[in-house]
């Protein structure tokens, strides 16, 4: 259970809180074109699911059992990747996720790496099936 303070959801800007609570990106997908699963060194597990049509990510979902910071990073990575080509999605960086979140606590910077790494792994899953 998280306590109020630097790791609390209330420390994020409203747009980030809205993104974390938006069901558009959160959840599992029944029939994705590709998917991935990673467990971070902190113990948080993350999954990404992609639907890719004509080289573009047309649908994306993530699932995590992690903290609010992990959820915020995954949601931002999903938002940044949606509608992008594979090449464009591969240009998304952990640094970009951090900048867009405007308030990711320093002790949770690793969550951005976990989110982008899991996204990359889902893209690799797609590319390896082609």
Residue 105 inside a domain? The answer is: yes
Q: Tell me whether residue 100 is in a domain.
A: yes
Q: Which residues pair with 10 in a beta bridge?
A: none
In a domain, 28, yes or no: yes
Q: The dihedral of CA 40, 14, 61, 26: what is its sign? A: positive
Task: State yes or no: pLDDT of 109 exceeds 80.
Answer: yes
Per-residue pLDDT of 10-33, as tens digits, reads 467 888 888 888 899 999 999 999
Query: What CATH number does the domain containing 32 carry?
Result: 3.90.1010.10
On whether residue 37 sits in a domain, the answer given is: yes
Local confidence band at 2 (pLDDT 50, 70, 90 cut-offs): very low
Residue 83 phi, psi (nearest 5)? 85, -5
Please state the domain count of the chain.
1
Asked whether the predicted pLDDT for residue 81 surpasses 60, the reply is yes
Overall pTM surpassing 0.85 (yes/no): yes
Query: Is residue 109 domain-resident?
Result: yes
The answer to whether the CB of 125 falls within 8 A of the CB of 52 is no
Residue 2 lies in a domain: no
Residue 87 forms part of a structural domain: yes
Summarised one tens digit per residue, pLDDT across range 24-73 is: 999 999 999 999 999 998 999 999 999 999 999 999 999 999 999 999 99
Provide the domain limits for residue 17.
9-129
> Is pLDDT larger for residue 130 or for residue 110?
110
State the residue for tokens 């060194």.
41
Rounded Cα–Cα distance for residues 6 and 109 (Å): 13
Q: How large is the C-alpha radius of gyration of the chain?
A: 14
Strands (E), 6-103: 34-39, 45-53, 56-64
* pLDDT for 3: 35
């Amino acid at each position: 259970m998280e306590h109020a303070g630097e790791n609390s959801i209330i420390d994020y800007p409203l747009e980030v809180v809205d993104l974390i609570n938006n069901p558009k990106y959160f959840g599992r997908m029944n029939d994705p074109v590709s998917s991935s699963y990673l467990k971070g060194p902190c113990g948080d597990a993350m999954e990404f699911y992609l639907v890719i049509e004509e080289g573009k990510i047309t649908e994306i979902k993530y699932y995590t059992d992690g903290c609010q910071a992990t959820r915020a990073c995954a949601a931002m990575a999903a938002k940044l990747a949606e509608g992008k080509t594979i090449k464009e999605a591969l240009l998304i960086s952990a640094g970009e996720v951090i900048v867009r979140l405007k308030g990711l606590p320093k002790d949770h910077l690793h969550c951005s790496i976990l989110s982008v790494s899991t996204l990359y792994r889902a893209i690799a899953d797609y590319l390896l099936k082609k």
